[in-house]
Homo-oligomer: A and B are copies of this chain.
Amino acid sequence: MTEQPPDDTHTQPLNRRATLADVAALAGVSLGSASRALSVPEQVKPATLKKVAQAVAALGYIRNGSAQALASRRTRTVAALYPTLDNPIFAQSTHSMQQTLWSLGYQLLIASHEYQIDNEFALLRATVERGVDGLILVGTDHSQEIFSLLHQRGLPYVLTWSTDDSSYPHCVGISNFDAARKLAREVIAKGHTRIGLCGGAIDRNERARGRRLGILAALKEARLKMRKDWIFEAPFSYAGGRQAIQYFWSRKQRPTAILFGTDLQAIGALHQCREQGIRVPDDLSIIGFDGIEEAEMMQPALTTLRIPAHEIGRRAAHRIVALIEGTPVEPEPPLSEMLLIRESLGQVSSTNQR
């Protein structure tokens, strides 16, 4: 009798992690069938399916995603690259994006470069290296390197948040220019003529640029001019807004209204006004941009413009999956923002006509 190598497969647990080959062996089918049972069950006979399922359960088998990705050249993962996650407006879109992708059978890989815009390429490179089937980027203004890499690798991508400065058909967002102009017109309609502006860095950020230009356009329409020293640049944070108030209030000439690039800044500004005893909106009107929930909670409540962040997340998710899977998609219809006129924007009265 020939000496047989021991075959423990059916009698005791493996001392190593179960592979698909183990599953196949235990189920008494070939490796190919086991693979198909998991990936394309409709091509497999129910009986086979059942045997495989039992073996999977018995072994506690979990697919090795790396091997699967290597063999199939697909990862079923989409990456979203954000400037930061520290702004509630981005966190909002993340949520619906993840839910939607999950429901479509994809995972979401989230990363952020924290406004170190030069890191964006490094981040993208690392993400591509790790392996993703598609990307969702924030904004339309990215370095040439980035687009080159994307094209060179044939990676589908969706641009989100804005449609400004781009003719790419897969932009899911609003026109920041139009939105900001609309908001500025409201401010002007309240009688303001002395209007300041606090934006963020506009380098590689067409959102900040579009907002600034939209405001300037509205002023121009109304034959108002923007003083150079009433354009202030600050970080996109509460602290940035505080700095802006300190800056404007240290000037000899002060505006009666300030339009901020983000709600985060505007809320910081509101807080700083309280510290300095500046009455809002009597002494100064403050206007945000984004429409985060916190804006409504402030005292006075912040006037702002709501960006449909959840809708952006949802649509971007559907779109990137369509691009990955080659489903035809129409060019994206524009999304619409909503004005939220609240207490922090006041009518100009004799009080602040100095």
A126 within 8 Å of B (CB atoms):
yes
Which stretch, A91-99, A205-213, A214-222, A250-258, touches the partner chain B? A91-99
A281 within 8 Å of B (CB atoms):
no
Residues 44 to 73 of chain A near chain B (Cβ within 8 Å): 60, 62-67, 69-70
Task: Check B114–A126 contact: CB distance below 8 A.
Answer: no
Q: Give per-residue flags for A238-271: 1 if the beta carbon is below 8 A from chain B beta carbons, else 0.
A: 1000000000000000000000000000011011
Residues 104 to 143 of chain A near chain B (Cβ within 8 Å): 107-112, 114, 125-131
Task: Check B130–A65 contact: CB distance below 8 A.
Answer: yes
Task: Check B297–A131 contact: CB distance below 8 A.
Answer: no
| Central interface residue in A65, A86, A114, A129, by most chain B CB within 10 Å | A65
Task: Check B86–A91 contact: CB distance below 8 A.
Answer: yes
The residue from B63, B64, B91, B98 contacting A70, defined by CB atoms under 8 A apart: B64
A279 within 8 Å of B (CB atoms):
no
A299: which B residues are within 8 A, CB to CB? Answer: 274, 298-299
Task: Check A111–B108 contact: CB distance below 8 A.
Answer: yes
A229 within 8 Å of B (CB atoms):
no
A228 within 8 Å of B (CB atoms):
no
The residue from B66, B84, B129, B238 contacting A293, defined by CB atoms under 8 A apart: B238
Task: Check B77–A130 contact: CB distance below 8 A.
Answer: yes
Task: Check B62–A125 contact: CB distance below 8 A.
Answer: yes
Instruction: Report copies per complex.
Output: 2
A296 within 8 Å of B (CB atoms):
yes
A152 within 8 Å of B (CB atoms):
yes
User: By DSSP majority rule, is chain A's interface helix, strand, loop, or mixed?
Assistant: helix
A17 within 8 Å of B (CB atoms):
yes
> What distance in Å separates the Cβ of A37 from its nearest Cβ neighbour in chain B?
16
Task: Check B64–A267 contact: CB distance below 8 A.
Answer: no
A201 within 8 Å of B (CB atoms):
no
Task: Check A238–B297 contact: CB distance below 8 A.
Answer: yes
A88 within 8 Å of B (CB atoms):
yes
Residues 284 to 311 of chain A near chain B (Cβ within 8 Å): 293-294, 296-299
> What distance in Å separates the Cβ of A305 from its nearest Cβ neighbour in chain B?
20
A347 within 8 Å of B (CB atoms):
no
Task: Check B65–A67 contact: CB distance below 8 A.
Answer: no
In this complex, what residue of B is CB-closest to A241? B297
A interface residues (Cβ-Cβ under 8 A, vs B)? 17, 60, 62-67, 69-70, 75, 77, 84-86, 88, 91-92, 94-95, 98-99, 107-112, 114, 125-131, 152-153, 238, 267-268, 270-271, 274, 293-294, 296-299
